[in-house]
Each structure stands twice: as structure tokens, then as C-alpha cells.
A and B are shown apart, each in its own frame.
Chain A
Amino acid sequence: MKIQYTKTLPTDLSDSHIFIDSTALINASKSSEFLNLLIEIRDNGCTFYTIPSVVYEYTRTSNTIKGYNERLEFVKDLKVVVFNRVEEVIEKDSQIFLTAYNSCFKESRGPSYTDSLLCTIAYKHRAIEDAYVLTSNHKDRPAGIFDRSQLITIDIKGDLCTEILYKFSSRKFSNILTKLESQQ
């Protein structure tokens, strides 16, 4: 078996919004089965989004103009829309979220910039019922803020990789806010 997931996943996600991380794009390039699943999910009406730094992380795997074009074409043909107001979103009203997010990590090892942005975008769109971040980078998706909604296990040349749909949890976020409020 090359991939394992809940069989109703494509229809379950038909009204969802998924923010795609570069790990998911890279794994979709490496695994035909995972790519087929993403196509099926998109064909069922789910909307894919990403951010410019994810596009950068994905295209930097190429060192030729041809390869660069191929990767952009892959993102385009997968109908991934690039959300281009990321910096503005962060500056406006997400500083407390970022403080809460950062508090989930040890001081010496913070999350990456791209992962911070993706999580902030998920927070920003928390009012949307079915908004998820899709990634296999689990260390930057703290369990203290995000729930793991669905798991997709992929066999890539014998190595098992797990892509997870993470959902922002208002309940968990509330707990962190309580801790922040208690700080001097």
C-alpha cells in the first residue's frame, strides 16, 4: 500500500479551505498516489491556498529556468491560489497569536518563518469552519494550539511520511491566553 487515509476524505473536505505547506507540494511531486488524492480533493470542491514563501521554498528545489517554470506550473495546475496579504495580516492583529504560538517552543528553537505565517493565516481565518494547514512538518504545528484532524500516510520509496491536516483550536488557544494573562 502506497498511501493510507480515510476513504471519505475527498468528500469530507468538499467545502474546505486548505493552506498548503511546501512539504505537501514536494511530497505531491514525489508520490503519484498523494498527488492523485490532492487532485481528487480539489475536484470535489475544496479550495487550495498557499503563501509566497511556500512558493519560494518549493521553487528553490530547482536550479534551472526550465525547472523553475515546471514547479510554478505544477502549483498553478493544482489550482493553488497564493494569498498575498500575509505581512499585512500579521502586522494588523495577529501579534498576540504569534506570542502564544512562540510560547509553545523552547526559547532556543523557534519555528520557521514560513510555518509561523501559515499558522497565523490559519488563526486569521479561524471563523471559517473548515480551514486547515496541510503539512508533514509537525514540529512547527504545536499540539498546544492545533488539532490533528486527518492523517495521510504516504510511502515514498520505502520511507513513511505523514501529511496531517491541522486545525486551529479556539479551546487550546484560550488556555494559552490564560497563561499569558497571568504573566507579570
Chain B
Amino acid sequence: MSNDERVSELSKKLNVSLEYSDKIEKKKAVTLDRTKLQKLAQTIRQELEETSLENTVHENSPH
């Protein structure tokens, strides 16, 4: 399989689309999914901490 085909296959795993707009306008008030957001934040926080730890270890490693 070529790299282009592999990229195409991997791209199928990118399953989140953001909302785009070309103008600023007032949006309706909505109730956000607090539980889902906090859960996502917790996962991301953990990853950020692990990455930060790895960087710290790397930076402090003797060359």
C-alpha cells in the first residue's frame, strides 16, 4: 500500500468536524454537556501531564 493510501486510511480515524463560519454572529444559548467536557478535559489533562513529564525527563537527561 502506498503512503498516500495509508494516509487516506488513517484519515478515516479523524472523525471530528468543527463548526466554521466566515462571519461573527450571535449564537443561540445552549446547554453544554458538562459531564462529557469534564471527562474529555480529564483525559487531555492526563496526556498533557505525561507529555510534560517526558519532556522534563528528556531535558534533564545527560547527553
Contacts and interface: CB of A to CB of B under 8 A. Distances in A.
B34 A67 contact: no
Given A79-B32, A81-B27, A62 B47 contact: yes
A29 B45 CA distance: 6
A39 B31 CA distance: 8
A80 B58 CA distance: 34
Given A35-B41, A74-B41, A68 B14 contact: yes
B44 A71 contact: yes
Contacts of A61: 44, 47-48, 51
A14 B32 CA distance: 15
A167 interface: no
A28 interface: yes
Range, interface on chain B: 20 to 34
A36 B41 CA distance: 11
Contact of A82 (B14, B15, B18): B18
B38 A69 contact: no
Interface residues of A, number: 44
A170 B31 CA distance: 34
A32 B41 CA distance: 8
Interface string B26-63: 11111111101110110111011001000000000000
B16 interface: yes
15 contacts: A29-B41, A39-B37, A43-B29, A44-B29, A47-B25, A49-B21, A61-B51, A69-B16, A70-B40, A73-B40, A79-B30, A82-B21, A83-B22, A84-B20, A85-B23
